[in-house]
């Protein structure tokens, strides 16, 4: 992890190094942002443009776009995540978020806390 920015109490944007290889999670680094352990993960493969997905989990979540480009909306905030910009999003348990596929295909990876 290169750096992170606190957007509000439960939304953080993470910037990673733009090299060819990306480490998507090191527990010790991410616990400095929020003191939780991410224990479950899953991904969504999205093929059509503008397909909207919703996430209403009541846990902390770490969002990564592994392929393509997605636009994440959290309340009044909007973030572009992509394989190229290597940004990640951490959102808290009271934050509902939605995202849509901006590119032709995308893979959204989500890690959840307990």
Between CA 27 and CA 30 the distance in angstroms is 5
CATH of domain 3-113: 2.60.120.10
pLDDT at residue 68, as a whole number: 93
Q: Are 92 and 56 in contact (CB under 8 A)?
A: no
Q: pLDDT tens for residues 73-88? A: 998 999 999 999 999 9
| Token pair 């939780």: residue | 36
Please give the helix or strand (H or E) that residue 12 lies within, else none.
strand 11-15
> What are the residue ranges spanned by the domains of the chain?
3-113
pLDDT at residue 4, as a whole number: 95
pTM: 0.92
The arithmetic mean of pLDDT across residues 2-9, rounded, is: 93
Between CA 73 and CA 29 the distance in angstroms is 25
Between CA 36 and CA 23 the distance in angstroms is 18
pLDDT at residue 19, as a whole number: 78
Cα radius of gyration (the chain): 13
Q: Are 71 and 106 in contact (CB under 8 A)?
A: no
The arithmetic mean of pLDDT across residues 24-41, rounded, is: 92
């Amino acid at each position: 992890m290169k750096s992170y920015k606190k957007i509000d109490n439960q939304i953080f944007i993470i910037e990673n190094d733009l090299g060819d290889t990306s480490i998507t999670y090191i527990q010790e680094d991410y616990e400095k942002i929020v003191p939780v352990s991410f224990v479950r993960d899953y991904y969504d493969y999205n093929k059509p443009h503008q397909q909207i997905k919703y996430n209403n989990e009541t846990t902390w979540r770490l969002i990564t776009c592994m392929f393509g480009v997605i636009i994440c909306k959290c309340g009044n905030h909007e973030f572009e995540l992509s394989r190229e910009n290597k940004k990640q999003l951490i959102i808290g348990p009271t934050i509902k978020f939605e995202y849509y596929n901006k590119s032709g295909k995308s893979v959204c990876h989500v890690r959840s806390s307990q």
